[in-house]
Amino acid sequence: MGRVLFDSEFLKKLEVLRLVSKRFYRGRARGEHHTVKRGTSLEFSDYRRYHVGDDFRYIDWNIFSRLDQLFLKLFTAEEDLVVHLLLDTSASMGFGTPPKIDYAKKVAAALGYIALANLDRVGITAFTDHLQDALPLVRGKDQLFTILHHFERMHPQGETAFGKALMEYAFRHKRTGLAIVISDLLDPEGIERGLEALLFSRFDVVVLQIVDEEEIAPPFEGAIRLVDVETGKERRLSVDGRLLQRYQEQLREYFQQIEGFCARRHIEYIRTSTILPFEDLILKYLRQGLHVR
């Protein structure tokens, strides 16, 4: 019988994280923005000067009679925040102890539950070199087991085409919001293209990069045979200290490249090793205010 990923201990941790998250959500008007439109969820907020083309129905004529100037009433609209959880389920995510995919599922489940508990809408999509199984938008704490069952059905397989998959997602989804991309980012050529597509479609973007300790510091020495889990290609190497040092230098440069791109494009980026308890990553995420947009 397989190991249960979402056991009672995990559910207890979720509840603690939900309670902690309230402190970070407190005072947030969900989806708050200023508008001149009326509606049942709108409250008066402020004024601004009238500009040619504005809807004259929202002019405050009392101010006009006193100041002989045109001002529009502004209202605050509270809308649902839509959280899009995009999870890389390519074969490379099956690597590690624990497998990166298991860690990613726990992180995604925790973020999804926190959003549901705060009345946001949550959608989940797996991707490899194309979009996989998707869960349409759900809302409310009672949907926790819906999202957990959805994650349980996900298994790592296939190749990654990061750019292609995210471009497809951005094209298909017109209701934007907060896109949280969870991946090991092992498709360097497609990362920037995929994230740019989300930005172009007006998503707020958060990237969580999941890596295994053996990827950071490989415990190899001597003659080894490497097999690409996604393509099946093999390569034989003789590993020594100099080769490991060069590998780690290139890995640091790669991480810096991703960090630099995200910083330039105002994308929130967190990299973590699976050695860090998932709940600690969630707390770091909340402290940075990434879920409170």
**CB–CB of 274/100 below 8 Å?**
yes
Q: What SS3 class is residue 142?
A: helix
C-alpha of 167 from chain center:
15
pLDDT tens-digit profile, the chain (293 residues): 456 899 999 999 999 999 988 877 654 444 443 444 444 455 666 777 777 666 677 788 888 788 888 877 766 555 668 999 999 999 999 999 899 999 999 999 999 999 999 888 999 999 999 999 899 999 999 999 999 999 999 999 999 999 999 999 999 998 889 999 999 998 888 899 999 999 999 999 999 999 999 999 888 787 778 777 777 788 887 778 888 899 899 999 999 999 999 999 999 999 999 999 999 999 988 887 765 44
Q: What are the sequence ranges of the domains in the chain?
A: 8-28+80-211+271-287, 33-77
Give the CATH architecture of domain 8-28+80-211+271-287.
Answer: 3-Layer(aba) Sandwich (3.40)
b/e 183-203 (16+ beta carbons within 10 angstroms → b): bbbbbeebbbebbbbbeebeb
Rounded to an integer, what distance in angstroms lies between the CA atom of residue 147 and that of residue 140?
11
Crossing angle between the packed helical segments 100-117 and 144-152, to the nearest 10 degrees: 160
pTM: 0.81
